[in-house]
């Protein structure tokens, strides 16, 4: 994991739309039988500077505070902060009430940072932002090894602190990187991926293997969240961590074959699509138990895209499983929601026709009342080419199946681009997403770059 590789990957993610769906998106396609509700408010652009000017480079959504007031996003724009302190890739928070945009990827002394990971997280009140950086002199106590470490930025105190401290007797750093952080709503627990062996003294970890860790900022205690069964070290990489808003459940992808007891069905399943798909797991931090999350509707393990989203209470897991490709296209995935309490798995589709061909982005979001799931995708009642597969943003009622379109144009018509990467406030009424349409705003835009938007639905 070289720093150059990480930086290149980050910028490429923004340029290409931050998602594999970009290659499969087009204007034409079959409209899904979902409704756009007129009570929803207008779409607003999030990636704007304080003078109101839109970002002059692509951006992507990264999270929204639980109270719906603050939107976190990444951007390569050069015109988002008034002092011009940041040119190039950075992490920003937009106050959706006042319109103020703030650069949050700063060192403890306020210096704008470079060498940033492309993932970050924001706490429920918007005070804390967690990120990973390979820059030097970020915060006190930072190892002088040039590696990526995880940091938390306190926006109220304007301070940045090191999260991945490690312990002198915990082992060796090896490839010392730590990446892909996420944070609980109260800002206390931070989850991340690392290949270090010094983070948890005595933990059974295989050298040079990616593992998932959780650090408690109050106690300073770090624990391993991707252990092998029966005290073994996981025998392969785990990655793409997430944590429920209540801080009790961790989700992640893994290619390890020994996270569950040997007799557990589908433990270590090998998917026919090779490296493109993986298994998804949840780890209960209170019970210290691991569960296979990536199940199909019939309860069997499915080939999952390496992304998992959890409901705020950790009860539901949303993910995408591989399906037969569309003609002329690459892989197709369908979205599923797994009730981890009851074991029930349902598919989230925008068509009531069971024979319809559907597709969905791996990322999804669930409201805090477990009522709504927000996702990007679509359906067609006929076989269509991959270039015709529209990716609109929907929300679906998990109890009734009612589906509504969010990413409509300013006049209520269909958007002319694609919507991806949704994040939702606790009450489900403010949605942040990334979109490359030109007709979302009144008057339209001339650029089809990826930008970040927010929308507030009405009461239902």
Question: Taking 90 as the threshold, does the pLDDT of residue 26 lie above it?
Answer: no
Position 309 in a domain = yes
CA distances, 74 to each of 17, 152, 297, 450 (Å): 12, 16, 35, 11
Spell out the alpha helix ranges (H) of 287-358: none
Position 242 in a domain = yes
What's 40's domain CATH number?
2.120.10.30
Higher local confidence (pLDDT), 321 or 325:
321
Position 460 in a domain = no
Question: Taking 80 as the threshold, does the pLDDT of residue 325 lie above it?
Answer: no
For the CA atoms of 71, 73, 79, 85, the dihedral, rounded to the nearest 10 degrees, stands at 100
Percent of the chain with pLDDT over 70: 82
- The lowest-confidence range among 40-44, 73-77, 304-308 is 40-44
Greatest mean pLDDT among 28-42, 182-196, 273-287, 357-371 lies in: 182-196
Position 110 in a domain = yes
**Nearest Cα to 230, choosing from 290, 170, 301?**
290
Position 337 in a domain = yes
Position 293 in a domain = yes
Question: Taking 60 as the threshold, does the pLDDT of residue 87 lie above it?
Answer: yes
Q: What are phi and psi of 213, to 5 degrees?
A: -125, 155
pLDDT in tens, 106-124: 999 999 998 999 999 999 9
Looking at residue 375, what is its pLDDT?
A: 96
Instruction: Give the mean model confidence (pLDDT) for residues 11-24.
Output: 40
Looking at residue 353, what is its pLDDT?
A: 86
Cα atoms found within 13 Å of the Cα of residue 382, Cβ hemisphere only: 6
Question: Could you give the number of structural domains in the chain?
Answer: 1
Note the pTM of the prediction, 2 decimals.
0.89
Parent domain of 287: 3-455
Position 390 in a domain = yes
Looking at residue 166, what is its pLDDT?
A: 81
Instruction: Give the mean model confidence (pLDDT) for residues 390-397.
Output: 92
Structure tokens that stand for 158 in this block? 């304007």
Looking at residue 389, what is its pLDDT?
A: 74
In angstroms, the CA 221 to CA 223 distance is 7
Position 330 in a domain = yes
Looking at residue 275, what is its pLDDT?
A: 44
Burial of 9 (0-12, 13-18, 19+ CB in 10 A): exposed
């Amino acid at each position: 994991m070289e720093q150059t590789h990480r930086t290149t990957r980050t910028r490429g993610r923004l340029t290409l739309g931050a998602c594999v769906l970009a290659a499969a998106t087009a204007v034409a396609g079959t409209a899904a039988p979902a409704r756009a509700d007129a009570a929803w408010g207008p779409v607003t652009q999030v990636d704007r500077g304080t003078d109101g000017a839109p970002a002059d480079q692509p951006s992507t959504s990264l999270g929204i505070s639980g109270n719906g007031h603050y939107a976190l996003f990444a951007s390569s724009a050069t015109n988002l902060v008034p002092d011009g302190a940041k040119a190039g890739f950075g992490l920003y928070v937009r106050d959706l009430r006042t319109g103020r945009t703030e650069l949050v990827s700063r060192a403890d002394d306020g210096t704008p940072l470079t060498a940033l990971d492309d993932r970050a997280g924001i706490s429920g009140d918007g005070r804390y932002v967690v990120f990973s950086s390979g820059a030097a002199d970020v915060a006190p106590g930072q190892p002088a090894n040039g590696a990526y470490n995880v940091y938390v930025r306190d926006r109220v105190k304007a301070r940045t602190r090191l999260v991945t401290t490690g312990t002198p007797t915990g082992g060796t750093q090896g490839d010392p990187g730590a990446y892909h952080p996420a944070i609980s709503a109260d800002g206390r627990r931070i989850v991340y991926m690392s290949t270090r062996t010094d983070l948890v003294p005595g933990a059974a970890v295989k050298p040079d293997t990616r593992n998932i860790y959780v650090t408690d900022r109050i106690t300073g205690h770090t624990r391993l969240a991707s252990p092998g069964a029966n005290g073994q070290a996981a025998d392969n990489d785990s990655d793409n961590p997430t944590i429920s808003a209540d801080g009790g459940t961790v989700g992640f992808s893994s290619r390890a074959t020994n996270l569950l007891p040997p007799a557990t069905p589908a433990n270590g399943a090998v998917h026919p699509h090779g490296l493109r798909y993986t298994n998804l797991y949840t780890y209960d931090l209170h019970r210290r138990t691991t569960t296979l999350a990536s199940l199909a509707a019939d309860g069997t393990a499915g080939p999952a895209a390496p992304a998992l989203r959890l409901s705020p209470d950790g009860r539901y897991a949303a993910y995408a499983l591989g399906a037969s490709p569309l003609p002329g296209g690459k892989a197709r995935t369908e979205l599923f929601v797994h009730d981890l309490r009851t074991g029930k798995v349902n598919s989230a589709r925008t068509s009531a026709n069971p024979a319809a061909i559907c597709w969905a982005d791996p990322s999804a979001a669930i409201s805090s009342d477990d009522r709504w799931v927000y996702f990007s995708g679509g359906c067609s009642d006929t076989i269509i080419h991959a270039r015709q597969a529209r990716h609109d943003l929907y929300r679906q009622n998990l109890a009734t199946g009612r589906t509504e379109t969010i990413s409509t144009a300013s006049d209520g018509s269909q958007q002319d681009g694609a919507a991806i990467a949704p994040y939702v406030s606790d009450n489900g009424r403010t949605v942040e997403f990334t979109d490359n349409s030109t007709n979302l705003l009144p008057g339209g835009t001339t650029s089809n770059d990826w930008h970040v938007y927010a929308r507030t639905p009405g009461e239902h």
